[in-house]
Amino acid sequence: MYEFAPQITPIIDHIIDSVRSFRPEIAISIAFIGTIFCSLFADRYWKQASFSVFLIGLLAAGYLTYTQNTENIPVFFDMLRIDTFSQYARLIILFAVTIIGLYIQQYGSYQLPKKRLGDIYSILLATTLGLHLLTLTTHWIMAFIAVEMVSIGSYVLVAYFAQNKKESEAAMKYVLFGSTCAAFMLYGLSLLYGFTGSLDFSSIAQMKGLIAAPMVLSTVALLFVFVGIGFKLGFVPFHVWTPDVYEGAPTPITAFLATVPKVGAIVLFSRLILAWTASPFYFGEVTLHFLCFVAIVTMLIGNLVALRQQNIKRLLAYSSVGHTGFLLLAVLSYVHHEPEVLFFYLATYTLMNLAVFGFIMILEKQTGSAYLADYAGLGKRFPLVFTGLTFAGISLVGLPPTAGFVGKLLVFTSIFDIYQTLDQSLYLYLLIVGVLTSVISLFYYLKIPLYGFLRQASSGTIMDLSNRISCPIYGIALFFTVLLLVFGLFPDLLLDFFRLP
């Protein structure tokens, strides 16, 4: 005890300094407690109390993140690192979660039976805190805690509005598959710690331990870890939960699952790949080949299966799988020191998905359906919705003059530069498959204007349009569509912002 006493003061000083660097996450935590309080007491007097606290907390966290000192500061005993890379990722996450919250608020206003939304906002804030930790850490225990915070929050978000057997089944599949993947990841982490005695994947101690460990056992351990990360990213073969969950979840929650967790998981994965490839650890080269192979298979399976989908949410689920493969290509850009390419694609991917799901919310409100056949002939009745949805789909394909085209062009250019530098045919195959699957995606995204403008209207009834409900979503979705055009014509507006100093 007396030997420990001289260390108490430096430890307390370090914790205090760490708390100062943790202010954005503290703001989210305070908002989390505030939304719970409002849900219990204040919402009965003012229905928007918890929503207002939710928005204020996210705006405060966004301001504190933007003004934060990002000089690669280690906090909480080097379990977290405050740097510019995590700053940009957190800003994208906070922006996306704010829009998701607005979507949920609109969805809850007309959803029957009515449920308290304050609980959803608190869960969304807790999940956002997990995502922040995911972007900040290089420590395996913190990474696992963050993954589980995001996963458990996502399970509750999917199941909260469940009203029928199909939606409950989707939530149950999500929980069971996610729990299994978490068990694999935790077992892999226990093996890594046993081999190395270190839990910091960027440390020299862990690299030395992995090099000294038996090759077969360390490979098995690392593959188990990939199971947990693959579940959050949804790449093949850990994508099987995606279509059922996307279809069964409410559309705002589907928009959340398709965008925000991927940002956090991609940032963690990028840090991991960079740490391994910067060392003589044999698995660094294996990981790059693994990454390329998974990207190729994921892009092919996601886009080919999407061709056969008639439910627009299942279509977007498989499209999301295909885009996950493309995000893995963007990770290679970061590994080869082009982080602005990765962030540009993450930002435009977020904008594209938020716009698409906003328009789908409007169409679901009008038709009560998510099947393309029920949208036949509605393009003449809702021209702005279908025009915006078609443009966002074109951006997801990667056609000019959209931001999606610029994002894919930057990634393709980066991969081609890597191919010329390393002269490895695997990177050429990546380029070919990336271009091929982009062409394939054109066929299923064009189903939207095909049904909307070129098919005859069905005899189904159209529900009345409520301006109070749809106007905010209209405005947000159309604004994002305009941004996709602006960033497609002037990409430097985003690229200059994301260029690391």
CA distances from 225 to 158, 307, 321, 323 (A): 25, 32, 20, 22
Q: What is the DSSP letter of 368?
A: S
Q: 400 with 488: CB under 8 angstroms?
A: yes
pTM of the model: 0.93
Tell me the pLDDT tens digit for each residue of 324-362: 988 888 888 887 777 888 899 999 999 999 999 999 998
286, 271: one domain: no
List CB contacts of 500: < 8 A, sequence separation 6 or more.
84, 85, 339, 340
259, 349: one domain: no
248, 288: one domain: no
133, 68: one domain: yes
Burial of 423 by CB count in 10 Å (0-12 exposed, 13-18 middle, 19+ buried)? exposed
Compute how many other C-beta atoms are within 10 angstroms of the C-beta atom of residue 197: 11
242, 223: one domain: yes
345, 262: one domain: no
CA distances from 231 to 13, 177, 224, 253, 385 (A): 38, 8, 11, 17, 33
Query: Which of 276, 291, 312 is at the close of a domain?
Result: 276
pLDDT of residue 466: 46
Pairing of strands 71-75, 80-83: antiparallel
pLDDT of residue 461: 45
pLDDT of residue 469: 46
244, 321: one domain: no
Tell me the pLDDT tens digit for each residue of 115-173: 778 889 999 999 999 999 999 888 888 999 999 999 999 999 888 887 777 778 888 88
106, 83: one domain: yes
Compute how many other C-beta atoms are within 10 angstroms of the C-beta atom of residue 152: 18
With b meaning 16 or more CB within 10 Å and e meaning fewer, what string describes 18-55?
beebbbbbebbbbbbebbbbbbeebbeeeeebbbebbb
Burial of 396 by CB count in 10 Å (0-12 exposed, 13-18 middle, 19+ buried)? buried
343, 286: one domain: yes
Count of alpha carbons within 13 angstroms of residue 150, beta-carbon side: 29
Alpha-carbon distance 477 to 493, whole Å?
A: 20
Per the structure, the count of domains in the chain is 2
Tell me the pLDDT tens digit for each residue of 367-397: 878 888 888 888 888 888 899 999 999 999 9
121-482-110 Cα angle (round to 5):
35
366, 267: one domain: no
pLDDT of residue 467: 40
Query: Which of 233, 249, 276 is at the close of a domain?
Result: 276
For residue 398, what are the domain limits? 281-501
Say whether the peptide bond before residue 501 is cis (omega within 30 degrees of 0).
no
Query: Which of 242, 258, 276 is at the close of a domain?
Result: 276
Q: 415 with 332: CB under 8 angstroms?
A: yes
Q: 39 with 50: CB under 8 angstroms?
A: yes
3-state SS assignment for residue 83: strand
309, 236: one domain: no
271, 285: one domain: no
Q: What are the beta bridge partners of residue 74?
A: 81
Type of residue at 44:
R
pLDDT under 70: residue ranges of the chain:
1-7, 9, 14, 111-114, 278-284, 457-470, 500-501
